Amino acid sequence: MTDESRSREPSSAAGLTPEAAGLLETHFHMRLSREWDQRFEKLFRQGGVAKWYSGVGSEATTVASAACLRRDDALLTIHRDSGAILRYYASCEDLVPGLLPVENRHGREKSRELLYRLACQLLGRSDGFTAGYDRSFHYAHLDEETGLKHIGMISHMGAMIPVAAGVALAFRQQGSDRVALNYIGDGGTSTGEFHEGLNMAAVLDAPLVLVILNNRYAFSTPTSEQYRAESLATRAEGYGIEGIRIDGNDPLAVSAAVSGAVERARGGGGPTLIEAMLGRMRGHSEGDDSLGILDEAEKEKYESEDPVACLEASLVEQGIATTEHIEKVRGICAELVLEIVDEAAASAAPKLAGGERPVFARATGSPGKGPLARGLAGSAEETSYLEAISLALGDAMEEDPEVFLMGQDIAAFGGAFKVTRGLLEEFGPGRVLNTPIAEAGMIGIASGAALLGKRPVVEMQFSDFVSCGFNPLVNVAARFHYRTGLPVPLVIRLPSGGGVGAGPFHSQSLEATFLHVPGLKVVVPAWPEDAYSLLREAIRDPNPVLFFEHKYLYRRVKASLAPASIDIGAGVEAGARIVRPGDGVSVFTWGWMVHRAVAAAEALGEEGISVEVVDLRVLAPLDERTVMESVGRTGRALVVHEAQLTGGFGGEIAARIAEGAFEALDAPVRRLAYPDHPVPFNKELEAVCLPDEESIAASLRELAAW
């Protein structure tokens, strides 16, 4: 079809009111969305796509709600929101110039490109937003040129609500009036992250509009088996926010509710929860037979309420459009979708080069030259490990206004260990945020804010509690750069380890849990100077960094923060540190165990055994070169760690040494670690289990004598 044939003005267009013109554009995008879904349904049946989650029946809600956004607002979608994406990416005027008297959004060339890339994404082609590395709507597109901020989903339902709240929080912190619009299905409202994200958005007055697409079923489970509330909108009252239930098949009702919520958010009124009631016209996904749970009467009812057909009939009845115009739009949309999808299907497949796509974002620009320990550097006064962390936080906040802190009791109280004491008074409540007890919410919100250029630092009261935030950490923050190419500059501070009689839920060393997750950097400092410099570097890093700080060392280890001892600018990948040279046996360790290994090495030195102690400091990415060079010098290796033996990172280090330095070894690689059981509460019981100077020395003697 030529541009000329597409641009003929329908007879009903002349003299339209703005409201009528808006309805015609809504109709165009609803029909475009319907044709888009039906094209991919057909492709699924033909084997052209492996999976398809159809948005048929939700077009009135998705299109009309997205139309309430400005192009610099943020859209966060899930798997049935193609209507919202199509409306957000392009206006009717972009795609079919002259068809309707409506405004141009981005320009025809740009909008056409976006829809082509979307089709490529859905087909797994190289021109897709993730170049074939992730599926369907699992992508993000942040475009400085157009202002678009579209962030897609992960498969875990509810997980993106805290992320959307974080995006909205970033808007508020930037002093703008932009808003974030997010969608969730009725099934996803049963997740913990729905509660944590919405509750924290309310507490933080985040400009978030959350729309529930309630089609009455989660896969095959009816709402009667999901919740007992009269409606999902009534939950809003529990969060102290506005809640509205609307007919999701009526684009005018949707527009009124969402535009009101958007304006309320722009004015500082906080989030709104909107429940849009829909009929189920498709199953959970194509081909899964879940639509078969509906009886015939229910199917007929929903078909009779088809939002596209009902709007078309209404437009003709009101005299806003002619039957000819409706048919013309149907033909234009069908042909436009066919052209775009066929072009995408004919495009290049991804290059078959596994592992080529980077897991970590690269730092850009030169290292900052911000404050250095704010007046303490070079003084004779010694600084504790805890004070060094506190100084690093303050210096990072002074250096970069995008840095802010989140955590439980970190503001006026100063945190469970008083690490953040005084920072609220210095930097104000906008940058030192108390949060509810909601680890998943905190990490999800921090991830969303990081995507918008903020640099959040989240404090867990104890590292043990990070398990409650496992999903947003390993499935959102860790994978985001690999999936989207976007940086996620986020730091999670984790007070960890034992030795203080805190029992099994406050003493764990969990670093190995996360070393199996690509995309996370893991830092474990043992000395005040490293705690300071590595935290500064972690905050500057464009990737999520887990910063394990040992509670036992907080006030027991001190050092002078002299400029020569603080390495700012080397990055988190600064590498391992040889804290005691030797040529007889190498011991590799991190955290508290570094100090015990040094004590054991010094004792063995008096026996004539030369021990090299290597403080790994950064476990991911691991400085393997320093490890291999040390083994090359000594021929013997002992790995010591506080975490349990089985599955501990010592096993990985031992395997790499066996593979990469086998010919240099004069003895088997040994490991010394905590036994495979939880940490006991009684200090004496705990001490028996922990590697100490004597047990480390005994292992080193055995290796030296081999």
Return the active site residues: 506
Q: What is the DSSP letter of 235?
A: G
Peptide bond into 542 cis (omega under 30): no
Please name the residues in contact with 210: beta carbons below 8 A apart, sequence gap of 6 or more.
161, 164, 182, 183, 184, 198, 201, 271, 272, 273, 274
3-state SS string over 571-626? CHHHCCEEEECCCCEEEEECCHHHHHHHHHHHHHHCCCCCEEEEECCEEECCCHHH
> What residues have CB less than 8 Å from 235, skipping those under 6 apart?
189, 229, 243, 273
**How far is 91 from 25, CA to CA, in rounded Å?**
8
376-379 contacts, C-beta under 8 A, 24 or more apart: 376/561, 377/561, 377/562, 377/563, 377/566, 378/562, 378/563, 379/560, 379/561
Cα 554 to chain centroid distance, Å, stands at 30
- Which of the 8 DSSP states describes residue 703? H
Of 286, 398, 350, nearest in space to 56 by CA: 286
The 3-state DSSP class for residue 690 equals: coil
The tokens describing 282, both together, are 């498709």
Torsion of CA 68, 70, 71, 74, to 10 degrees: -80
d(CA 134, CA 478): 14
Pair 628, 660: CB distance under 8 Å:
yes
Q: Are the beta carbons of 637 and 666 closer than 8 angstroms?
A: no
**Main-chain dihedrals φ then ψ at residue 362, nearest 5 degrees:** -85, 140
Contact (CB, 8 A) for 393 and 167: no
Rg (CA), the chain: 29
Question: What DSSP designation does 562 have?
Answer: -
d(CA 358, CA 361): 7
Quote the crossing angle between the two packed helices 82-89 and 59-66, to the nearest 10°.
30
Task: Identify the burial level of 563 via C-beta atoms within 10 angstroms of its C-beta, where 0-12 means exposed, 13-18 middle and 19 or more buried.
Answer: exposed
- At a CB cut-off of 8 Å and minimum separation 6, what does 684 contact? none
Query: Which residue is associated with the tokens 């090359």?
Result: 632
- The amino acid that residue 466 corresponds to is V
Which runs of consecutive H residues, i.e. helices, occur in 124-191?
160-173
Q: How many CA atoms lie within 13 A of 605 on its CB side?
A: 13
First-to-last C-alpha distance (Å) of the chain: 82
Length of the chain: 706
